[in-house]
Amino acid sequence: MTKAEIIARIYEKVGFSKKDATDVVEATFDIIKGCLEKGEKVKVSGFGNFVVNTKRPRKGRNPQTGDEIIIAGRKVLTFKPSQILKKSLNSGASQS
Amino acid sequence: MTKRDLIDEINKRFPHLSHRDSEVIVNAIFDAMVDAMGQGERIEIRGFGSFVVKHRRAREGRNPKSGEIVSVAAKRVPFFKVGKELRLRVDGKPVPEGTE
């Protein structure tokens, strides 16, 4: 599924104009991205939470040369699926 | 930010839509994604990331408290892989022109 398919589903099945569907879908992902960029977490009930975690710098090794290197600290995004989403993947009806 | 805040923000940006409309569309977006994953389908949102469904085989586990052997059924679990653009933005790095 792509963004275009999500948009199509909204204007075909939910009955909004193609333009409204496109604009709102684009804005939704933009707003979420903007929030995460600021380090704020985004909680979508029934779907899951997007959380920005901070990784501390650590020592690593170049596996090829064996040189010790410092891996810089960084911020990473993680997604924690909601129980509802996890359950719906295992509800039986559409199991593959 | 919660889904409610997201809906309020959408409503602010699109004043011609009623609050109810904003709510319906935002819910429809996530419903569509849950349905797609329920079908085992992969979702790819450019500039954001992708969601995939991974299969876990049935296995024998242990109840950590009692040590009893229990069988754990096969299951499907959702996974999110962050896209390059968002990965860089979250880390405060510049996003090269033309990424995704």
Is the pLDDT at A95 greater than 80? The verdict is no
- The reported pLDDT for the residue numbered B42 is 96
B80 and B62 both lie in a single domain:
yes
CA distance A63 to chain B (A): 24
Question: Residue B98: which residues within 8 A CB-CB, separation 6 or more?
Answer: none
Q: Bigger pLDDT: A13 or A37? A: A37
How many domains, chain B? 2
Chain B contact present for A8, CB below 8 A: no
Do the Cβ atoms of A91 and B38 come within 8 Å?
A: yes
Is residue B63 included in any domain, yes or no?
Answer: yes
Prediction pTM value? 0.87
Look up the CATH number of the domain holding residue B52.
4.10.520.10
- Position B100 scores a pLDDT of 57
A23 touches B at CB < 8 Å: yes
Interface of A with B in 41-60 (CB under 8 A): 41-48, 50, 52
Say how many residues make up chain A. 96
What does the block give as tokens for B84?
């390059």
DSSP element (H, E) containing A87: helix A83-88
**Mutate: best of A14, A53, A54, A74, partner B, most B CBs <10 A:** A14
pLDDT tens per residue, range A15-71: 899 999 999 999 999 999 999 999 999 999 999 999 999 999 999 999 999 899 999
Does residue A92 carry a pLDDT above 90?
Answer: no
The answer on B56 and B83 residing in a single domain is: yes
Write the ipTM: 0.88
Q: A76–B38: do the CB atoms touch at under 8 Å?
A: no
